[in-house]
Amino acid sequence: MKKVSFKFYLIVYCLLIFSSQFTLAQKDAKRPLDIVFCVDLSGSTNGLINNVRDNLWLIINQANNMVPAPDLRIAVVGYSRPSFGKSTGYVRILSDLTHNFDHVAAELYKLKPSIEKGDQYVSAALSTCVSQLSWSKNQQAFKTIFLCGNGMVTSNGYDYIKYCEQAAAKNIIVNTLYIPNGANIMRELPAWRRISTITSGMQSEMTVANRDNVIVFTDVNLDRIKAANNKLNSSYLWVGPESESCRKALVTADSGAFYSMKDAFFNRAYFKCTEEYELVLKDCDLVNAYTIGSATTPNDSSYLASEAPVKFANHFIEMKESRTKLIANLKQELPDSLITNYKQLFSQGLMPEKNIFTRVILTVLFKQWERR
């Protein structure tokens, strides 16, 4: 391939930024699905943060395979850490609702797993989730919060009821995942159940110490997947004001998944083979920006060839074709059937929950998505 200067790339990027066709119709056609993980990060739930970040990609892959396929966004809100500050009720938005799950993962991996003894202001966490996140305004959107933690919900009064009513008014469902801790279960549990009842959600229990022994990607080759993933990473052409942030988030998400457990890395690699991932990266990768952002449909080479200068079109089409081959090579190592097998178990209600974070989340999500 003929070497092209950075100035050439910059000119093309600027043209794309001002293109009127940057918005894609296929995302608008999907029903929005907004999921918020609101997690207690105090000492009594030590290990919960690992449950979230180690299983993030598994949850994303399964959610994207629900029927009908959703337009998925995810947010994470943490609470009960003194380092988050008293002025916010010890609550922090780690990531607002976004399609860019690399950024979600990167923020999760920034968190130190150290134990902090903190006040559990569940009402403050609920208030933040309901009123400070960028919820979809689409009337057909399915909006849900998974509130994970323990403690006395009424420790600072009964304001939680008001915030639950606000959530219900905005059609936001709150599903509670209560983590049993010591002798206070019978005193704490009723309010957690009340939260889910007010918002038409579901109440479940989970144990943070339980690691899921079910592995999605069995009999796959780590070395080949790692090599294919590295080649794919090297194909991105980072341009634009968000490009450095995107690049760092990709590296952080890759390394975090790789060093947590193999299946987390395999699930992440699988997601990187999807159209959803390409759509996200069109804002900071010039190849996707050109071949997706300025065409009426993805990979519409006839449009590019007729409407753009030929030297631009041919160059980026060639780069896109090379990228497509790299994705196909990676995807060959991670067959769809392994994802589909689990989808069937969750959709049919055949996956035992066993108080395990991922299983509880996906069991609830599949039930609610199909009902609504």
| Per-residue model confidence as pLDDT tens digits over 7-53 | 545 544 554 444 434 444 455 578 999 999 999 998 878 889 989 99
One DSSP character per residue, 213-269 reads ---SS-S--HHHHHHHHHHHHHT--B-STTHHHHHHHHHHHHHHHHHH-HHHHHHHH
User: Which range has the worst mean pLDDT, 110-124, 229-243, 325-339?
Assistant: 110-124
| pLDDT at residue 299 in the model | 40
pLDDT over 50 (residue 199): yes
The answer to whether 7 and 45 have CB atoms below 8 angstroms apart is: no
Report residue 152: phi and psi, to 5°: -80, 110
| pLDDT at residue 17 in the model | 44
| CA–CA distance, 80 with 209 (Å, rounded to integer) | 19
Q: Which residue has the higher pLDDT, 14 or 192?
A: 192
User: Which range has the worst mean pLDDT, 8-17, 85-94, 358-367?
Assistant: 8-17
| pLDDT mean over 337-359 | 89
| pLDDT at residue 18 in the model | 41
Q: How confident is the model at residue 293 (pLDDT cuts 50, 70, 90)?
A: low
The answer to whether 119 and 155 have CB atoms below 8 angstroms apart is: yes
pLDDT over 70 (residue 298): no
| pLDDT at residue 59 in the model | 96
Q: Which residue has the higher pLDDT, 303 or 103?
A: 103
- Of 283, 254, 289, 282, residue with least CA distance to 268: 254
| pLDDT mean over 254-261 | 94
| pLDDT at residue 120 in the model | 74
- Of 110, 283, 129, 114, residue with least CA distance to 201: 129
Residue range 149-168, pLDDT digits in tens = 999 999 878 999 999 999 99
Q: How confident is the model at residue 302 (pLDDT cuts 50, 70, 90)?
A: very low
The answer to whether 346 and 363 have CB atoms below 8 angstroms apart is: yes
What is this structure's pTM? 0.88
| CA–CA distance, 52 with 257 (Å, rounded to integer) | 11
Q: Which residue has the higher pLDDT, 347 or 176?
A: 176
